[in-house]
Amino acid sequence: ERGGDRLMCLGIPGEILEIDGQEARADFRGAEKWVRIDVVGADLEVGDYVLNHAGFAIRKIPEAQVERTVELYEQAATAGGEG
Protein backbone atom coordinates (compact mmCIF):
# COMPACT_ATOMS: atom_id res chain seq x y z
CA GLU A 1 0.00 0.00 0.00
CA ARG A 2 1.08 3.52 -0.70
CA GLY A 3 -0.70 6.44 0.94
CA GLY A 4 -3.62 4.23 1.84
CA ASP A 5 -4.19 3.16 -1.76
CA ARG A 6 -3.77 -0.45 -2.67
CA LEU A 7 -1.42 -1.20 -5.54
CA MET A 8 -2.18 -4.02 -7.91
CA CYS A 9 -0.37 -5.57 -10.84
CA LEU A 10 -2.67 -6.03 -13.78
CA GLY A 11 -2.26 -8.56 -16.57
CA ILE A 12 -3.13 -7.05 -19.93
CA PRO A 13 -5.17 -9.19 -22.34
CA GLY A 14 -3.86 -9.48 -25.87
CA GLU A 15 -4.55 -11.48 -29.01
CA ILE A 16 -1.76 -13.61 -30.45
CA LEU A 17 -0.95 -12.52 -34.03
CA GLU A 18 2.20 -14.53 -34.72
CA ILE A 19 4.28 -17.18 -32.95
CA ASP A 20 8.04 -17.55 -33.36
CA GLY A 21 9.52 -20.19 -31.06
CA GLN A 22 9.15 -19.04 -27.44
CA GLU A 23 7.93 -15.57 -28.42
CA ALA A 24 4.69 -14.28 -29.84
CA ARG A 25 3.57 -10.99 -31.33
CA ALA A 26 0.31 -9.91 -29.75
CA ASP A 27 -2.12 -7.02 -30.10
CA PHE A 28 -2.79 -5.12 -26.86
CA ARG A 29 -5.47 -2.49 -27.46
CA GLY A 30 -3.94 -1.55 -30.80
CA ALA A 31 -0.30 -1.78 -29.67
CA GLU A 32 1.63 -4.75 -31.00
CA LYS A 33 4.28 -6.18 -28.67
CA TRP A 34 6.46 -9.28 -28.56
CA VAL A 35 5.99 -11.38 -25.42
CA ARG A 36 7.62 -14.53 -24.07
CA ILE A 37 5.29 -17.53 -24.05
CA ASP A 38 7.42 -20.02 -22.09
CA VAL A 39 5.12 -19.93 -19.05
CA VAL A 40 1.92 -20.57 -21.02
CA GLY A 41 3.19 -23.60 -22.88
CA ALA A 42 3.03 -25.00 -26.37
CA ASP A 43 -0.74 -25.09 -26.86
CA LEU A 44 -1.02 -21.46 -28.04
CA GLU A 45 -2.27 -20.71 -31.53
CA VAL A 46 -2.68 -17.53 -33.54
CA GLY A 47 -5.99 -15.98 -32.48
CA ASP A 48 -5.71 -17.11 -28.85
CA TYR A 49 -5.75 -14.51 -26.08
CA VAL A 50 -3.22 -14.32 -23.25
CA LEU A 51 -2.68 -12.20 -20.17
CA ASN A 52 0.62 -10.32 -20.40
CA HIS A 53 2.62 -9.10 -17.42
CA ALA A 54 6.06 -7.50 -17.80
CA GLY A 55 6.61 -8.99 -21.26
CA PHE A 56 5.54 -12.54 -20.35
CA ALA A 57 2.32 -14.27 -21.29
CA ILE A 58 1.29 -15.60 -17.88
CA ARG A 59 -1.99 -17.29 -18.78
CA LYS A 60 -3.94 -18.35 -21.81
CA ILE A 61 -7.45 -16.93 -21.55
CA PRO A 62 -10.08 -19.61 -22.25
CA GLU A 63 -12.18 -18.68 -25.29
CA ALA A 64 -15.36 -18.51 -23.20
CA GLN A 65 -13.74 -15.87 -20.94
CA VAL A 66 -12.09 -13.60 -23.54
CA GLU A 67 -14.94 -11.12 -23.98
CA ARG A 68 -15.51 -10.66 -20.24
CA THR A 69 -11.76 -10.44 -19.49
CA VAL A 70 -11.26 -7.70 -22.11
CA GLU A 71 -14.34 -5.86 -20.80
CA LEU A 72 -13.03 -5.94 -17.21
CA TYR A 73 -9.61 -4.72 -18.35
CA GLU A 74 -11.19 -1.82 -20.24
CA GLN A 75 -13.14 -0.86 -17.11
CA ALA A 76 -10.00 -0.99 -14.95
CA ALA A 77 -7.97 1.00 -17.51
CA THR A 78 -10.66 3.67 -17.72
CA ALA A 79 -10.97 3.89 -13.93
CA GLY A 80 -7.18 4.17 -13.64
CA GLY A 81 -7.00 7.05 -16.10
CA GLU A 82 -5.39 5.05 -18.93
CA GLY A 83 -8.41 4.99 -21.26
- Please give the model's pTM, rounded to 2 decimal places: 0.79
Helix (H, G, I), strand (E, B) or coil at 22: coil
Least confident of 3-7, 10-14, 45-49, 70-74: 3-7
Question: What's the Cα-to-Cα distance from 55 to each of 10, 46, 68, 75, 81, rounded to whole Å?
Answer: 12, 18, 22, 22, 22
pLDDT score recorded for residue 1: 44
